[in-house]
């Protein structure tokens, strides 16, 4: 930053490449004119391609091979996928668990974070509430297990059992983290607690950007109730934030569920009742080292999340407005 003060005609020539003599080929011209822009992008792009884009391509290719890390990959066509869907009952179960988990927790979390943001936007003191609703999303699922294990403990002193028995809903303590009917719901409950933060902030900030003239105009047009206002003015104005929120939620739901499931139910969970697609992926990739098979699991996960993301993009597009 020492060269900050360098100015005058001398600096112009070296710093403004477009002033240099005409280059010959198209590529040279491109670099001379826009080289600086590409130079700024280069460091990010190197890591972006090496660790994200190329790996996606490699994962797709590996999913058509048998690969155990010891011998080179051997192409075997569709057989990983055939195995996954036709032979691997646990995989089918993991898809069912993950979809059930995501399609309930995702929409509930989005709706709740929007409503929270909307209510908080109505009042004047915001900071403390914003902190209370955001803080859970800053915590580690592994660390919070210390709390949830006590809350959902299977003996009569677990907070949940204690409360329900006191209120007379149940007579006997319930094994929340072992019973296959409640394992997944408990994981979903914890996810909801943790998941509202980021989108809550996105929506809270978004609410402050809605053009206030729209509300004035709405009053003239006969919109009286705050809920009508929310439905007809606020929500449509916030489409871009909604889109960002939905994409965040999709990624979170398909990845964070695994960590909670791992910390509360273990891997594998009893009877695979809280088995997620990622649990299956982790199991095959890094415990059994069946990389080709695991890659096929990854590709299916990729198709699901990317598909939902694209759907959201279409649904919440603001291009024609």
- For other proteins, the binding residue among 59, 110, 183, 223 (CB under 8 A) is 59
CA 241 to each of CA 29, 215, 219, 232, 235: distance values in angstroms, whole numbers, following the listed order: 39, 19, 24, 16, 10
> Is residue 164 at the binding interface for other proteins, with CB under 8 A as the rule?
no
Nearer to other proteins, 92 or 315 (CB): 315
Q: How far apart are CA 311 and CA 57, in angstroms?
A: 22
In the complex, least distance from residue 105 CB atom to other proteins, rounded to whole angstroms: 15
* CB atoms near residue 29 (< 10 Å): 13
Chain position carrying tokens 């409503």 = 115
> Is residue 139 at the binding interface for other proteins, with CB under 8 A as the rule?
yes
- For other proteins, the binding residue among 19, 251, 271, 315 (CB under 8 A) is 251
Helices of type H across the chain: 9-15, 26-48, 54-62, 79-82, 89-122, 127-134, 141-151, 159-166, 183-195, 197-207, 212-220, 226-229, 235-237, 239-265, 277-282, 291-315
User: Comparing C-alpha atoms, which of 113, 189, 181 is closest to residue 151?
Assistant: 189
Q: Cα 241 vs. chain centroid, distance in angstroms? A: 15
> Is residue 111 at the binding interface for other proteins, with CB under 8 A as the rule?
no
Nearer to other proteins, 166 or 181 (CB): 166
Q: For residues 65-104, which are near other proteins according to CB under 8 A?
A: none
- For other proteins, the binding residue among 66, 230, 243, 270 (CB under 8 A) is 243
- Candidates 167-175, 178-186, 202-210, 211-219: pick the segment binding other proteins (CB under 8 A): 202-210
Nearer to other proteins, 90 or 135 (CB): 135
Q: Which structure tokens are listed for 248?
A: 């965040």
In the complex, least distance from residue 101 CB atom to other proteins, rounded to whole angstroms: 14
> Is residue 20 at the binding interface for other proteins, with CB under 8 A as the rule?
no
In the complex, least distance from residue 78 CB atom to other proteins, rounded to whole angstroms: 18
Nearer to other proteins, 184 or 253 (CB): 253
* CB atoms near residue 49 (< 10 Å): 12
User: Comparing C-alpha atoms, which of 140, 97, 137, 108 is closest to residue 304?
Assistant: 97
Chain position carrying tokens 């997944």 = 184
**Binding characters for other proteins, 264-303, by CB under 8 A (x = yes):** --------------x--xx--xx----x--xx--xx-xx-
In the complex, least distance from residue 287 CB atom to other proteins, rounded to whole angstroms: 11
Q: For residues 180-199, which are near other proteins according to CB under 8 A?
A: 193
Residue 75 has φ and ψ, to the nearest 5°, of: -70, 130
- For other proteins, the binding residue among 105, 191, 234, 259 (CB under 8 A) is 259
> Is residue 131 at the binding interface for other proteins, with CB under 8 A as the rule?
yes
Residues 6+ apart with CB under 8 A from 194: 136, 137, 139, 141, 144, 256, 260
Provide the 3-class DSSP secondary structure of residue 317.
coil
Nearer to other proteins, 54 or 181 (CB): 54
Peptide bond into 36 cis (omega under 30): no
Provide the 3-class DSSP secondary structure of residue 206.
helix
- Candidates 89-97, 103-111, 125-133, 172-180: pick the segment binding other proteins (CB under 8 A): 125-133
- Candidates 39-47, 78-86, 175-183, 211-219: pick the segment binding other proteins (CB under 8 A): 39-47
Nearer to other proteins, 37 or 171 (CB): 37
């Amino acid at each position: 930053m020492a060269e900050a003060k360098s100015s005058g005609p001398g600096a112009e020539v070296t710093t403004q490449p477009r002033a240099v003599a005409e280059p010959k080929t198209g590529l040279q011209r491109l670099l001379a004119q826009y080289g600086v822009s590409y130079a700024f992008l280069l460091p990010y792009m190197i890591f972006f391609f090496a660790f994200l884009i190329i790996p996606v391509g490699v994962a797709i290719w590996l999913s058509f091979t048998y690969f155990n890390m010891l011998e080179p990959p051997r192409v075997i066509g569709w057989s990983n996928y055939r195995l996954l869907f036709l032979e691997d009952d646990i995989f089918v179960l993991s898809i069912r668990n993950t979809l059930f988990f995501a399609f309930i927790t995702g929409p509930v979390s989005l709706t709740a974070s929007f409503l929270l943001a909307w209510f908080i936007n109505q009042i004047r003191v915001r900071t403390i509430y914003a902190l209370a609703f955001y803080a859970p999303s800053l915590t580690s699922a592994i660390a919070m297990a210390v709390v949830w294990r006590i809350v959902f403990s299977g003996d009569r002193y677990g907070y949940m059992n204690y409360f329900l028995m006191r209120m007379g809903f149940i007579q006997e303590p319930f094994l929340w983290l072992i019973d296959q009917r409640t394992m997944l719901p408990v994981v979903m409950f914890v996810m909801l607690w943790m998941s509202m933060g980021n989108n809550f902030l996105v929506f809270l900030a978004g609410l402050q950007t809605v053009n206030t003239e729209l509300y004035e105009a709405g009053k003239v047009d006969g919109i009286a109730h705050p809920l009508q206002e929310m439905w007809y003015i606020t929500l449509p104005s916030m489409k871009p934030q909604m889109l960002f929120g939905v994409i965040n939620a999709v990624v979170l739901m398909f990845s964070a569920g695994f960590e909670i499931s791992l910390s509360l139910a273990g891997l594998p969970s009893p009877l695979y009742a809280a088995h997620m697609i990622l649990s299956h992926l982790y199991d095959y990739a890094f415990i059994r080292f069946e990389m080709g098979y695991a890659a096929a699991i990854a590709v299916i996960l990729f198709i699901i999340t990317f598909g939902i993301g694209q759907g959201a993009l279409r649904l919440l597009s603001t291009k024609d407005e």
